[in-house]
Amino acid sequence: MKIGVLAEGFRCPLPEAFHKIAALGLTGVQVYVTRGEFTPALLKKKDSLDTFLKLLKDLKLTISALCGDMGGFGFEIRKDNRERIEKTKEIIDLAAACKTNVVTTHIGVIPEDEKEERFSVMLEALDTLGQYGKKMGVTLAIETGPEKPETLKKFIEHTHGGVGVNLDPANFVMVTGVDPAKAVEVLGKYIVHTHVKDGIMKKQSDPLKVYHFFAEGGIGDFRMGDYFAETPVGEGSVDFDKYLQALKKTGYKGYFTIEREAGKDPAADIRLAADFIGKKLAAAGL
Protein backbone atom coordinates (compact mmCIF):
# COMPACT_ATOMS: atom_id res chain seq x y z
CA MET A 1 0.00 0.00 0.00
CA LYS A 2 1.59 3.28 -1.11
CA ILE A 3 0.19 6.03 1.11
CA GLY A 4 1.88 9.38 1.49
CA VAL A 5 1.20 12.89 2.77
CA LEU A 6 1.85 16.36 1.40
CA ALA A 7 4.22 17.44 4.17
CA GLU A 8 3.12 21.08 4.29
CA GLY A 9 -0.30 19.95 5.53
CA PHE A 10 1.18 19.60 9.03
CA ARG A 11 2.10 23.32 9.08
CA CYS A 12 5.43 22.74 10.78
CA PRO A 13 9.11 22.53 9.74
CA LEU A 14 9.81 19.72 7.30
CA PRO A 15 11.93 17.51 9.59
CA GLU A 16 9.11 17.55 12.14
CA ALA A 17 6.57 16.77 9.43
CA PHE A 18 8.69 13.85 8.19
CA HIS A 19 8.75 12.37 11.71
CA LYS A 20 4.97 12.74 12.00
CA ILE A 21 4.44 10.97 8.67
CA ALA A 22 6.71 8.10 9.70
CA ALA A 23 4.91 7.85 13.06
CA LEU A 24 1.67 7.24 11.15
CA GLY A 25 3.29 4.20 9.55
CA LEU A 26 3.14 5.72 6.07
CA THR A 27 5.86 5.42 3.45
CA GLY A 28 5.53 8.46 1.20
CA VAL A 29 5.96 12.20 1.36
CA GLN A 30 5.29 14.93 -1.18
CA VAL A 31 7.11 18.22 -0.71
CA TYR A 32 6.51 21.74 -2.03
CA VAL A 33 9.68 22.97 -3.73
CA THR A 34 8.64 26.47 -4.80
CA ARG A 35 8.78 27.82 -1.27
CA GLY A 36 10.09 26.93 2.16
CA GLU A 37 13.03 24.73 3.08
CA PHE A 38 13.14 22.32 0.14
CA THR A 39 13.86 24.16 -3.11
CA PRO A 40 16.20 23.75 -6.11
CA ALA A 41 18.70 25.92 -4.24
CA LEU A 42 19.56 22.71 -2.36
CA LEU A 43 21.29 21.47 -5.51
CA LYS A 44 23.96 24.07 -4.78
CA LYS A 45 24.07 23.06 -1.11
CA LYS A 46 24.78 19.36 -1.38
CA ASP A 47 25.30 18.92 2.36
CA SER A 48 21.85 20.36 3.08
CA LEU A 49 20.17 18.18 0.45
CA ASP A 50 22.03 15.12 1.72
CA THR A 51 20.82 15.88 5.26
CA PHE A 52 17.19 15.89 4.12
CA LEU A 53 17.64 12.72 2.07
CA LYS A 54 19.40 10.92 4.94
CA LEU A 55 16.56 11.80 7.30
CA LEU A 56 14.02 10.44 4.83
CA LYS A 57 16.05 7.26 4.41
CA ASP A 58 16.41 6.82 8.18
CA LEU A 59 12.63 7.22 8.56
CA LYS A 60 12.05 4.78 5.68
CA LEU A 61 10.21 7.45 3.70
CA THR A 62 10.13 7.81 -0.08
CA ILE A 63 9.46 11.06 -1.92
CA SER A 64 6.26 10.27 -3.83
CA ALA A 65 6.49 13.50 -5.81
CA LEU A 66 7.74 17.05 -5.67
CA CYS A 67 5.14 19.82 -5.92
CA GLY A 68 6.37 22.45 -8.36
CA ASP A 69 3.27 24.64 -8.35
CA MET A 70 4.31 28.29 -8.84
CA GLY A 71 0.81 29.72 -8.52
CA GLY A 72 -0.51 32.56 -10.61
CA PHE A 73 -1.71 31.72 -14.11
CA GLY A 74 0.50 28.68 -14.55
CA PHE A 75 1.75 28.61 -18.14
CA GLU A 76 -1.09 30.64 -19.66
CA ILE A 77 0.88 33.84 -20.29
CA ARG A 78 3.55 33.67 -22.98
CA LYS A 79 5.76 36.48 -21.64
CA ASP A 80 6.01 34.75 -18.25
CA ASN A 81 6.80 31.31 -19.57
CA ARG A 82 10.53 31.60 -20.22
CA GLU A 83 11.20 32.19 -16.52
CA ARG A 84 8.63 29.59 -15.44
CA ILE A 85 10.04 26.97 -17.77
CA GLU A 86 13.58 27.52 -16.47
CA LYS A 87 12.39 27.29 -12.86
CA THR A 88 10.48 24.11 -13.61
CA LYS A 89 13.54 22.58 -15.27
CA GLU A 90 15.44 23.25 -12.04
CA ILE A 91 12.65 21.47 -10.12
CA ILE A 92 12.91 18.51 -12.51
CA ASP A 93 16.67 18.45 -11.87
CA LEU A 94 15.97 18.39 -8.12
CA ALA A 95 13.51 15.51 -8.58
CA ALA A 96 16.13 13.54 -10.47
CA ALA A 97 18.69 14.22 -7.71
CA CYS A 98 16.16 12.98 -5.13
CA LYS A 99 15.45 9.88 -7.24
CA THR A 100 11.75 10.68 -7.53
CA ASN A 101 10.14 10.51 -10.95
CA VAL A 102 7.12 12.80 -10.52
CA VAL A 103 6.74 16.58 -10.31
CA THR A 104 3.16 17.80 -9.88
CA THR A 105 1.86 21.24 -10.77
CA HIS A 106 -1.17 23.29 -11.73
CA ILE A 107 -0.62 24.66 -15.24
CA GLY A 108 -3.54 27.08 -15.56
CA VAL A 109 -6.87 26.56 -17.28
CA ILE A 110 -6.73 24.58 -20.53
CA PRO A 111 -9.34 25.90 -22.99
CA GLU A 112 -11.60 23.36 -24.67
CA ASP A 113 -11.14 25.13 -27.99
CA GLU A 114 -7.71 24.29 -29.41
CA LYS A 115 -7.87 27.41 -31.56
CA GLU A 116 -7.64 29.68 -28.53
CA GLU A 117 -4.17 31.22 -28.24
CA ARG A 118 -3.98 30.13 -24.60
CA PHE A 119 -4.07 26.48 -25.72
CA SER A 120 -1.01 26.82 -27.96
CA VAL A 121 0.88 28.92 -25.40
CA MET A 122 0.33 26.32 -22.68
CA LEU A 123 1.05 23.43 -25.02
CA GLU A 124 4.37 24.89 -26.15
CA ALA A 125 5.50 25.24 -22.52
CA LEU A 126 4.34 21.80 -21.39
CA ASP A 127 5.74 20.06 -24.44
CA THR A 128 9.13 21.66 -23.80
CA LEU A 129 9.04 20.61 -20.15
CA GLY A 130 7.71 17.16 -20.92
CA GLN A 131 10.57 16.43 -23.28
CA TYR A 132 13.09 17.74 -20.74
CA GLY A 133 11.51 15.64 -18.00
CA LYS A 134 11.48 12.56 -20.20
CA LYS A 135 15.21 12.98 -20.74
CA MET A 136 15.70 13.19 -16.96
CA GLY A 137 13.37 10.28 -16.16
CA VAL A 138 10.78 12.57 -14.59
CA THR A 139 7.10 13.01 -15.49
CA LEU A 140 5.53 16.44 -15.13
CA ALA A 141 2.09 15.60 -13.75
CA ILE A 142 -0.69 18.13 -14.36
CA GLU A 143 -3.00 18.34 -11.36
CA THR A 144 -6.64 17.94 -12.28
CA GLY A 145 -8.80 20.94 -11.57
CA PRO A 146 -10.56 23.36 -13.88
CA GLU A 147 -10.97 21.34 -17.06
CA LYS A 148 -12.98 18.26 -17.99
CA PRO A 149 -10.91 15.07 -18.17
CA GLU A 150 -11.50 14.86 -21.93
CA THR A 151 -9.96 18.31 -22.38
CA LEU A 152 -6.93 17.37 -20.29
CA LYS A 153 -6.44 14.10 -22.16
CA LYS A 154 -6.61 15.86 -25.53
CA PHE A 155 -4.02 18.38 -24.34
CA ILE A 156 -1.60 15.68 -23.13
CA GLU A 157 -1.98 13.77 -26.39
CA HIS A 158 -0.60 16.83 -28.21
CA THR A 159 2.68 16.60 -26.25
CA HIS A 160 5.62 14.34 -27.07
CA GLY A 161 5.91 12.48 -23.77
CA GLY A 162 6.98 13.27 -20.24
CA VAL A 163 3.58 14.77 -19.33
CA GLY A 164 1.09 12.95 -17.11
CA VAL A 165 -1.67 13.47 -14.55
CA ASN A 166 -1.81 14.03 -10.81
CA LEU A 167 -5.43 13.08 -10.18
CA ASP A 168 -7.14 15.01 -7.39
CA PRO A 169 -10.69 13.64 -7.01
CA ALA A 170 -11.87 16.49 -4.79
CA ASN A 171 -11.09 19.10 -7.43
CA PHE A 172 -13.44 17.30 -9.79
CA VAL A 173 -16.36 17.07 -7.37
CA MET A 174 -15.90 20.61 -6.03
CA VAL A 175 -15.41 22.58 -9.23
CA THR A 176 -16.21 20.72 -12.45
CA GLY A 177 -18.86 18.35 -11.08
CA VAL A 178 -17.20 15.36 -12.76
CA ASP A 179 -17.36 11.88 -11.19
CA PRO A 180 -13.71 11.04 -10.30
CA ALA A 181 -14.22 7.41 -11.35
CA LYS A 182 -15.29 8.58 -14.80
CA ALA A 183 -12.25 10.86 -14.91
CA VAL A 184 -10.03 7.84 -14.20
CA GLU A 185 -11.63 5.97 -17.10
CA VAL A 186 -10.75 8.86 -19.43
CA LEU A 187 -7.27 9.67 -18.15
CA GLY A 188 -6.23 6.10 -17.31
CA LYS A 189 -2.68 5.51 -18.53
CA TYR A 190 -1.62 9.11 -17.92
CA ILE A 191 -2.21 8.98 -14.15
CA VAL A 192 1.16 8.82 -12.35
CA HIS A 193 0.23 10.25 -8.94
CA THR A 194 -2.94 10.90 -6.95
CA HIS A 195 -4.11 13.07 -4.08
CA VAL A 196 -6.37 11.81 -1.32
CA LYS A 197 -8.70 14.75 -0.78
CA ASP A 198 -12.45 15.22 -0.41
CA GLY A 199 -14.94 18.03 -0.81
CA ILE A 200 -18.42 19.10 -1.77
CA MET A 201 -19.96 21.35 -4.39
CA LYS A 202 -22.57 23.71 -2.98
CA LYS A 203 -23.54 25.19 -6.31
CA GLN A 204 -22.12 25.22 -9.83
CA SER A 205 -19.33 27.70 -10.50
CA ASP A 206 -17.38 28.78 -13.55
CA PRO A 207 -14.08 26.82 -13.36
CA LEU A 208 -12.23 29.53 -15.29
CA LYS A 209 -13.41 32.14 -12.80
CA VAL A 210 -12.49 29.94 -9.83
CA TYR A 211 -8.93 29.24 -10.94
CA HIS A 212 -8.30 32.77 -12.08
CA PHE A 213 -9.52 33.86 -8.65
CA PHE A 214 -6.62 31.91 -7.16
CA ALA A 215 -4.25 33.33 -9.77
CA GLU A 216 -5.22 36.94 -9.14
CA GLY A 217 -5.53 36.65 -5.38
CA GLY A 218 -9.17 37.73 -5.39
CA ILE A 219 -11.82 38.85 -7.83
CA GLY A 220 -14.44 41.30 -6.63
CA ASP A 221 -16.83 39.73 -4.17
CA PHE A 222 -16.51 36.15 -5.47
CA ARG A 223 -16.83 33.97 -2.35
CA MET A 224 -15.52 30.46 -2.90
CA GLY A 225 -17.24 29.20 0.22
CA ASP A 226 -20.59 29.83 -1.45
CA TYR A 227 -19.69 27.35 -4.20
CA PHE A 228 -17.61 24.54 -2.70
CA ALA A 229 -15.71 23.39 0.36
CA GLU A 230 -12.90 20.98 1.10
CA THR A 231 -13.90 18.46 3.77
CA PRO A 232 -12.08 15.85 5.84
CA VAL A 233 -11.59 12.70 3.77
CA GLY A 234 -14.70 10.53 3.86
CA GLU A 235 -17.05 13.40 4.64
CA GLY A 236 -17.40 14.82 1.13
CA SER A 237 -18.82 13.74 -2.22
CA VAL A 238 -15.94 11.61 -3.47
CA ASP A 239 -17.11 7.99 -3.78
CA PHE A 240 -13.80 6.43 -2.81
CA ASP A 241 -14.94 2.83 -3.30
CA LYS A 242 -15.94 3.51 -6.90
CA TYR A 243 -12.92 5.73 -7.51
CA LEU A 244 -10.41 3.18 -6.21
CA GLN A 245 -11.95 0.38 -8.23
CA ALA A 246 -11.59 2.55 -11.34
CA LEU A 247 -7.90 3.11 -10.53
CA LYS A 248 -7.42 -0.61 -9.93
CA LYS A 249 -8.78 -1.37 -13.41
CA THR A 250 -6.14 0.91 -14.95
CA GLY A 251 -3.37 -0.99 -13.16
CA TYR A 252 -2.35 2.10 -11.17
CA LYS A 253 0.61 1.34 -8.89
CA GLY A 254 1.53 4.81 -7.68
CA TYR A 255 1.07 6.75 -4.46
CA PHE A 256 -2.10 7.90 -2.74
CA THR A 257 -0.91 11.15 -1.19
CA ILE A 258 -3.08 12.81 1.44
CA GLU A 259 -3.52 16.55 0.91
CA ARG A 260 -5.23 18.67 3.55
CA GLU A 261 -5.32 22.39 2.80
CA ALA A 262 -8.16 23.50 5.10
CA GLY A 263 -9.58 22.88 8.56
CA LYS A 264 -8.68 24.00 12.07
CA ASP A 265 -6.68 20.86 12.88
CA PRO A 266 -5.21 19.50 9.63
CA ALA A 267 -2.86 17.15 11.50
CA ALA A 268 -5.84 15.38 13.07
CA ASP A 269 -7.58 15.28 9.69
CA ILE A 270 -4.47 13.75 8.11
CA ARG A 271 -4.42 11.00 10.75
CA LEU A 272 -8.08 10.22 10.08
CA ALA A 273 -7.47 10.29 6.32
CA ALA A 274 -4.55 7.85 6.66
CA ASP A 275 -6.76 5.39 8.55
CA PHE A 276 -9.66 5.88 6.12
CA ILE A 277 -7.68 5.42 2.91
CA GLY A 278 -5.70 2.53 4.37
CA LYS A 279 -8.90 0.59 5.01
CA LYS A 280 -10.33 1.50 1.61
CA LEU A 281 -7.17 0.41 -0.22
CA ALA A 282 -7.09 -2.88 1.66
CA ALA A 283 -10.75 -3.51 0.77
CA ALA A 284 -10.05 -2.66 -2.87
CA GLY A 285 -7.00 -4.91 -3.00
CA LEU A 286 -4.67 -2.07 -3.88
DSSP class of residue 147?
A: S
Residue 203: which pLDDT band, with cuts at 50, 70 and 90?
Answer: confident
Domains along the chain with CATH numbers: 3-284 (3.20.20.150)
Q: Which amino acid is at 186?
A: V
User: Are the beta carbons of 8 and 35 closer than 8 angstroms?
Assistant: no
Per residue in 7-38, pLDDT tens? Answer: 999 999 999 999 999 999 999 999 999 999 99
How far is it, in rounded angstroms, from Cα 11 to Cα 269? 13
Look at residue 178 in the predicted model and tell me its pLDDT: 96
* pLDDT at residue 218 tops 80: no
Look at residue 217 in the predicted model and tell me its pLDDT: 64
% of the chain surpassing 90 pLDDT? 86
Residue 43: which pLDDT band, with cuts at 50, 70 and 90?
Answer: very high
Polymer length in residues for the chain? 286
Can you tell me whether residue 217 is helix, strand or coil? coil
Residue 91: which pLDDT band, with cuts at 50, 70 and 90?
Answer: very high
Torsion angle of the four alpha carbons 118, 210, 8, 74, in this order, in degrees rounded to the nearest 10: 10
Can you tell me whether residue 227 is helix, strand or coil? coil
* pLDDT at residue 78 tops 60: yes
Residue 222: which pLDDT band, with cuts at 50, 70 and 90?
Answer: low
> Model pTM?
0.94
Q: What is the CA radius of gyration of the chain?
A: 18
The mean predicted confidence, pLDDT, of the chain is: 94
